[in-house]
Chains A and B, each alone.
Chain A
Amino acid sequence: MNEILLNNEVIVYLLSETVLYLLLFVAFLVTVGLVKKWNFDAFTTEQFTLENRSYLVMTIIFFGIVLKIILLPYFVYTIDALSDLVPGAMCGAGVIKANAYGNPLLALKIVILFLSGLWLSINSIDLKAKRYPYLKLKSWFFLFIFVLLSAEFLLDILYFTHIETTNPVSCCSVIFGQTGGANSLPFGLDIPKLLMLFYLLFALIVLSLFSNLSLVSVASSILFVVVGYYAVVYFFGTYIYELPTHKCPFCMLQDHYHYVGYAVWGLLLLGTFFAIDYAVMNVFFHTVSQTLKRIAIVLLSMFVFLCSGYVAVYYFKNGVWL
């Protein structure tokens, strides 16, 4: 058997994913029935049964989705732990690129994280209403998420069963390091423009949230995820590592850097998610949640201060920029 599949973290991860998938599969089957037969205005036994069942199934989906969200950092932790087994890998960067399934899997997990979060918000406002106004919508939405979850589960299996422990992989300095002059940054940006964009987008998200410009919030948040990722990998990360040539999104997840990567990526993803969530709830469901707005602003501010803090501390300690 593949050595990877005997790793403790992988066993725990795959077992959890399988149990959750089976649970959500049952929820999927029940939801299909709900979507077909649901009629809130009907005064029938079948409708009452469906209403009872819907509460149960939505609780199962809620439970499954929350655990799936928690499993994302654990997946990253598992990948990082595997770097001890895969030759050549110094961190998760090499392991995730050990085969063609790694990067699509990680990207899909992040997309599912955002969609699942939106489902949780819709579920919350639906349960607060008396007539389940969004039951059909959130059921269809769950069916769509379940399709993605099935693809993710398949990719999980394919990924972990196809990691070779005999073939050396590239380490992060090869993957993210100097590309011999070819620009690694998107949109033809250089580092100064990337940083300007980083701070301007942060300002734009905050301003648009305060001004209730929902579409601007969504667009700037999506762009901020991309720009934030590149800014961390190609600029702020070098201050976390205190090495100008070390460019990697994964090494900062290790104990050597006090696991700060979990805070950096967690704050970025959660901050932008709450900003998008607030805007979507505002536009489509006319629900203005001041709490969501405050959480988004606080998380994104913490992200920006954390990243900038590393640069400032380095400069005050050493008197030079990297």
Chain B
Amino acid sequence: MKKIVMNILTVAVVIAILVILLLSFGNDQGAKYVYKGNSAHKIIKIKPKEYQCSECNMNIEATAYEAQIITQGGDTYFFDDIGCVVLWLQNHKPVIAKIVTKTLDTHHWIDVKKAWYTRIAHDPMGYGFAAYEKKSKGLISYDEMKLLMLQGKNLHDPFVKKKLLGH
């Protein structure tokens, strides 16, 4: 009798576990990282929190700092921060059609290499880098920004932060 009760209980618990797992799998919409089929290589407009950054996995909320990598095959990768673009390209080598970023001054989408970058922005990842369309004092080129990012010389480094922001 005791054994039968134990077996019934075991089966009931197994069923409950399976139901929970199936419900979870069913509700899991998964993170959205890539927009596929963009063969025209157009910039994809997204809503805040619709996609996650391919590098840091965060929701893309502040679209003012957003960047996109569009591959020849039509895959569009989204990034919440230009710093994430630099880091992602270190480990991924897709055949790229264009890399674009939104600018803080004109709110246009432009080629990352044509943009100028501040080092003291309040960007989502806190690296300090953000794009501007028009060059002004203190802004640096993409190549310089990329080098500083890869060297870790951004606002995450306390020495750089103190030098640039004074605290």
A residues with CB within 8 A of B: 87-88, 167-168, 179-183, 187-190, 193, 196-197, 200-201, 203-204, 207-208, 210-211, 213, 216
What CA separation (Å) do A181 and B47 show in the bound complex?
Answer: 14
Chain B residues near A197 (CB-CB < 8 A): 17, 20-21
Q: What are 15 inter-chain pairs, A to B, with CB distance below 8 A?
A: A88-B156, A182-B52, A188-B25, A188-B26, A188-B30, A193-B24, A200-B17, A204-B10, A204-B13, A204-B14, A207-B10, A210-B6, A211-B3, A211-B10, A216-B10
Q: Are A211 and B52 in contact (CB under 8 A)?
A: no
What CA separation (Å) do A182 and B13 show in the bound complex?
Answer: 29
What CA separation (Å) do A228 and B62 show in the bound complex?
Answer: 34
Q: Are B10 and A181 in contact (CB under 8 A)?
A: no
Chain B residues near A201 (CB-CB < 8 A): 17
B residues with CB within 8 A of A: 3, 6-7, 9-10, 13-14, 16-17, 20-21, 23-28, 30-31, 49, 52-53, 57-59, 61, 80, 152, 156-158
Chain B residues near A193 (CB-CB < 8 A): 20, 23-24
Q: Are B24 and A188 in contact (CB under 8 A)?
A: yes
What CA separation (Å) do A137 and B26 show in the bound complex?
Answer: 43
Q: Are A181 and B59 in contact (CB under 8 A)?
A: yes
Chain B residues near A88 (CB-CB < 8 A): 156
B7 to chain A minimum Cβ distance, whole angstroms, is 6
Partner of A180, one of B6, B10, B57: B57
Chain B contact residues, majority secondary structure: helix
Partner of B14, one of A187, A188, A190, A216: A216
What CA separation (Å) do A181 and B157 show in the bound complex?
Answer: 26
Chain B residues near A208 (CB-CB < 8 A): 10
Q: Are B58 and A179 in contact (CB under 8 A)?
A: yes
Report how many A-B pairs have Cβ atoms within 8 Å: 72
B96 to chain A minimum Cβ distance, whole angstroms, is 25
Q: Are A196 and B10 in contact (CB under 8 A)?
A: no
Q: Are A182 and B10 in contact (CB under 8 A)?
A: no
Given A88-B156, A188-B28, A204-B13, 16 extra CB contacts under 8 A: A167-B152, A168-B156, A168-B157, A179-B58, A180-B57, A180-B61, A180-B80, A181-B59, A182-B31, A182-B52, A182-B59, A187-B21, A188-B27, A193-B20, A197-B17, A200-B13
Chain B residues near A188 (CB-CB < 8 A): 24-28, 30
What CA separation (Å) do A216 and B16 show in the bound complex?
Answer: 14
Chain A residues near B158 (CB-CB < 8 A): 87, 168
Partner of B152, one of A168, A179, A190, A203: A168
Partner of B25, one of A167, A187, A210: A187
B90 to chain A minimum Cβ distance, whole angstroms, is 13
B33 to chain A minimum Cβ distance, whole angstroms, is 9
What is the chain B residue whose CB lies nearest that of A213? B10
What is the chain A residue whose CB lies nearest that of B9? A207
Chain B residues near A179 (CB-CB < 8 A): 57-58
Partner of B13, one of A168, A183, A190, A203: A203
A241 to chain B minimum Cβ distance, whole angstroms, is 22
Chain B residues near A211 (CB-CB < 8 A): 3, 6-7, 10
A30 to chain B minimum Cβ distance, whole angstroms, is 44
Chain A residues near B53 (CB-CB < 8 A): 180
What CA separation (Å) do A203 and B31 show in the bound complex?
Answer: 32
Q: Are A180 and B58 in contact (CB under 8 A)?
A: yes
What CA separation (Å) do A80 and B157 show in the bound complex?
Answer: 22
B125 to chain A minimum Cβ distance, whole angstroms, is 10
Partner of B6, one of A87, A167, A196, A207: A207
Partner of A187, one of B9, B28, B152: B28
A-B interface, 6 closest residue pairs, ranked by CB to CB distance from nearest: A188-B28, A180-B58, A180-B59, A181-B59, A188-B24, A207-B10
A7 to chain B minimum Cβ distance, whole angstroms, is 22
What CA separation (Å) do A190 and B61 show in the bound complex?
Answer: 22
Chain A residues near B31 (CB-CB < 8 A): 182-183
A18 to chain B minimum Cβ distance, whole angstroms, is 32
